[in-house]
Structure 1
Amino acid sequence: MDSVTSEVTTRQLRAELADVIGKAGYAGERVAITRNGKLAAIVIGPDDLELLESLEEAEDLRAYREAKAADDGGRVSLEELRTDLSR
């Protein structure tokens, strides 16, 4: 993860929470939180979260449009579905 700018352990996080929040919220840094030497979480600021959500929405819209374009209009009744699933 090249975009992570710093790393703290969960123990350090307890002592440095305000600093970590400042780095993420005001400086735009992405701070990795590790537990037992393994990545446990990433603290990001609101701008990064907004960007992530907009990217997810764009991907959802793309998938919807793709599925709609591929829809042949055929439908299966609930009874047909139950029959197929019980086989």
Structure 2
Amino acid sequence: MLWWISGGIVVVALIVLIAVAMSVLARLRAFDNAARAMQARLVDGQQRVEPRLAALQQTVETMLPQLEAMQEQSLALQARRGVDPENS
């Protein structure tokens, strides 16, 4: 009689274990699908942004000499006026 009870407990425990494992696998499958969708959106967004970033970088590189010249002019003007460039 004791064997039947022990066997029944083991069978019920295995059924519960299988049910929980199936539930976890279903949730992992849903998580995997969501992760794949997010990865695809991330790649798409990156492909859309990269050309704009390259154009922005080109603009910055084009403007840099002009900005440096303006800074030198500003420093020269401040020096002529006797203004300390560190405090302005």
Task: Give the alignment's TM-score, normalised by structure 2.
Answer: 0.35
Bigger share in strand: 1
- The structure with the largest alpha-carbon Rg is 2
Task: Give the alignment's TM-score, normalised by structure 1.
Answer: 0.36
Bigger share in helix: 2
